[in-house]
Amino acid sequence: MADYDRTRARLIDVELDESIGRSTPDVEHERAVAIFDLIEENSFQPVNDDAGPYRLKLSLAESRLVFAVTREDGAAVVTHILSLTPLRRIVKDYYMICESYYDAIRTSTPSQIEAIDMGRRGLHNEGSQTLMDRLAGKIDIDFDTARRLFTLVCVLHWRG
């Protein structure tokens, strides 16, 4: 992708649905880091649209994941609504292993923490790939962008 395209095929803002309340400090930290990292470096372009950069609002509606994409000026580009069914098991398992990880940080040995973290990263990768697959033909993203988006999907799911 040319430098010019990279400046356009990207997110400049990410918003989570405002009806979602606060969560645990650990989850809030994950959310803040994911949004910061996502804005700093991403590759995001709705298929058949090259007039970015884009803003993204993520929300849940009737157990579906909503990607509402707008232009920098707020003009609507596209809204994609995805079933959460393909992600449900992965998100549930990821949430459980994250809880174990946060508990382990406080009480376990470094080798135990590392083992749990390896499992956590593996599930995160699986969820990221599933999200990429679900967005294929709708929104072009790279794997690092998918990883950060998957973290945000998990935050929505934990609170939704």
Instruction: Determine the Cα–Cα distance for residues 139 and 134; give it in Å rounded to an integer.
Output: 9
- What's the pLDDT score for residue 109? 93
pLDDT bin (cut points 50, 70, 90) of residue 1 is very low
Nearest C-alpha neighbor of 93 from the set 154, 15, 30, 3: 154
Do 60 and 157 touch, CB atoms closer than 8 A? yes
Do 90 and 126 touch, CB atoms closer than 8 A? yes
Record the tokens describing residue 72, joined without a space.
């920098």
Length of the chain: 160
Q: Which of 4-13, 50-59, 73-82 has the lowest mean pLDDT?
A: 4-13
- What's the pLDDT score for residue 6? 63
Q: Is the pLDDT of residue 160 over 60?
A: no
Helix, coil or strand: residue 78: strand
